[in-house]
Structure 1
Amino acid sequence: MLDLNMSQTILIVEDNDDDFEATERALFRKKNLSNPIVRCRDGQDALDYLNRDGQYASRDEHGPPSLILLDLNMPGLDGRQVLKRIKQDDALCKIPVVVMTTSTAQEDIDASYRAGANTYVHKPIYWNDFVEAILRLHDYWFQIAVLPK
């Protein structure tokens, strides 16, 4: 079992407050996660965080995140564009990206994997199903998978 330490941040790129809060609650209440979680509400904010630009230019509390949970459908720079930029950047491309979206469109699934997504998850509508999906993601990425340093 991989034991993550406090320096391994989870970046959640999510514009929907309810979905973010549900994800955070599932991780903290059900798994007692001790890793820091950073939320970015849109694609540009996420890229600024990852590249230490804009308001994040002086951040030094954590290195890059160990895992990114990325929504596809956001205003402005959407998750599709963010995913492409992450996976084309030599400094960021090793970070696992889990696309979490309401989209079940096959073209979104195919495009996400072509762009380098590590996993594509359809967000369940019902709370219990949503929590179960988050817990399974946690178990896979933090207990089974070996993440890059």
Structure 2
Amino acid sequence: MNRLLMLVEDDENDIFLIESSEKVGGGLLTVTRDRDEAIQYLSREERYANRERFPIPDMILLNLKMPRKSGFEVLE
């Protein structure tokens, strides 16, 4: 079974690098681009309510210095 990595990142270059490394590692990757989207995903809100389509990640890579609201707010 493949592990699911969730990336919370706003920079397209960083997203590209992680996507490239996950393809090599053979895992699955889901990307959320800001604090609000990450919280919606993890809370099963709005479009992320279906856990079959949006399973709980095994690991989260979280950018702590995102614009508007920081990654620390996701941790709270």
Tell me the TM-score normalized by structure 1: 0.47
Deviations 1:67-126 (A, max 9, x none): 000001113332011012xxxxxxxxxxxxxxxxxxxxxxxxxxxxxxxxxxxxxxxxxx
**Equivalence for 1:42:** 34
The separation in 2 between residues aligned to 1:81 and 1:62, in whole angstroms, is 21
The separation in 1 between residues aligned to 2:68 and 2:54, in whole angstroms, is 26
Percent identity between the two aligned chains: 32
The separation in 2 between residues aligned to 1:75 and 1:59, in whole angstroms, is 28
Matched letter for residue 83 of structure 1: L
Q: How many residues align?
A: 76
Can you give the 5+ residue segments of structure 1 that lack an aligned partner in the other structure?
Answer: 85-149
**Equivalence for 2:9:** 14
- How much is the aligned-residue C-alpha RMSD, in angstroms? 1.6
**1:24 to 2:16 alignment:** no
Alpha-carbon spacing, 1:35–1:26, altered in 2? closer, same or farther (3 Å) = closer
The separation in 2 between residues aligned to 1:62 and 1:19, in whole angstroms, is 22
Choose between structure 1 and 2 for higher RCO, CA contacts under 8 A separated by at least 6 residues. 2
Q: CA shift at 1:59, angstroms?
A: 4.1
**1:70 to 2:62 alignment:** yes
**Equivalence for 1:52:** 44
Question: More strand per residue: 1 or 2?
Answer: 2
Deviations 1:39-59 (A, max 9, x none): 000011001111110221234
Matched letter for residue 35 of structure 1: G
Can you give the 5+ residue segments of structure 2 that lack an aligned partner in the other structure?
Answer: none
Question: Is the 1:9–1:62 contact (alpha carbons within 8 Å) kept by the matching residues of 2?
Answer: no
